[in-house]
Structure 1
Amino acid sequence: MKKTYAIQLLGGTASKAARAIGRTPQAVIQWPDPLTERIQETVEFHFNRLPPSQKRKNKAKAEALLRGQE
């Protein structure tokens, strides 16, 4: 999983992603690209805990980001 995709899934910014997983924005910014398996599992776990409406919104933005990078 690409770092930008993961950040989009968790809210769109490093600050929002960090808040979603209980880390600092600096920690999120330092994630490798592509993500390690452990970080990817953390992202997926916390993404699945979001309310359904937020999941749909974040997933749509993340997918649009991927389409734009192809």
Structure 2
Amino acid sequence: MSFLRPRQKPKKAYPNSDRFGEDGRRLYSAYASADRKQPGKSRKRRHLALILGGSTVAAAVGVLMYLISAG
């Protein structure tokens, strides 16, 4: 069943053309490290956001329960 298989991406005419500038020199080196975010910081930020969001929801539910029981 060929319609269930994902379509193949079209091939570039020059697959490595993005590595070179107009003068033919390399734009980047294979040995130069790429700039990327550190995974630990984003994980800590996500963890903190989950904790703050959960505590906010718990506080809102607590206030609602108090108001319902008081009224």
TM-score where L is the length of structure 1 = 0.28
Bigger Rg, structure 1 or 2 = 2
Higher relative contact order (CA 8 A, sep 6+): 1
- More helix by proportion, 1 or 2? 1
